[in-house]
Amino acid sequence: MKKFSKLEIDTLIELLDFSKIEGALVPVIAQDYKTGEVLMLAFANEEAVRQTLETGIACYYSRSRKKLWKKGEESGHVQEVQHLFVDCYKDTLLLKVKQNVAACHTGYYSCFHREYEGGALKIRGEKIFNPDEVYTA
C-alpha cells in the first residue's frame, strides 16, 4: 500500500486542477494494478485526495450523498493504492489499486461489467458476492 509524506501530499494538491468540475472535484479512475482492468470511475475533492494519500486506501467524494466516501467503508472491499498517476492536464487521477473482493456494489469485480453489443447491454463476468448480504442498511 502506497502512502505519501505531508510534503508530497501538499505538493500534489497544489499541482492538481480542481476547478474544472463544479464542487472542486477531479475524476479518479481505479484500475487493477496487476491486470490493468478498469474497476470504476469516481470523483474526489481535495480532502478525499488527502485521505487517499495519507492512508493508502482509496477515498472518494460521493456526489449523490455529498460526503466523503472511503471505498469499502460498508462492504470491507477496500482499494489499496499501489501507484498514483496524474494526467497531462493535471485534472484527473489514475489509481492503480489492489482491489479487495470487488469494486462494484452490484457484486461484480468491476463496475464496467456490461458490454454494449448488438444494440443491448450484455453482462460480462460473474458476480463475486451477493449485495443483499453485504449492504444491509
**pLDDT over 70 for what percent of the chain?**
99
pLDDT of res. 1: 83
Torsion of CA 49, 53, 56, 60, to 10 degrees: 0
Q: Is 105 left (phi over 0), alpha (psi -120 to 50) or beta?
A: alpha
Which triple of cell numbers denotes residue 128?
Answer: 463475486
- Quickly list DSSP for 78-104: -EEEEEEEE-TTS--EEEEEEESS-S-
Residue 38: is its pLDDT beyond 70?
Answer: yes
Give tens-digit pLDDT for 53-79: 999 999 999 999 999 999 999 999 999
Structure-model confidence comparison of residues 125 and 26, the more confident one: 26
- List the CATH code of the domain at 6-106: 3.10.20.810
Cα(85)–Cα(55) distance, integer angstroms: 17
Residue 137: is its pLDDT beyond 80?
Answer: no
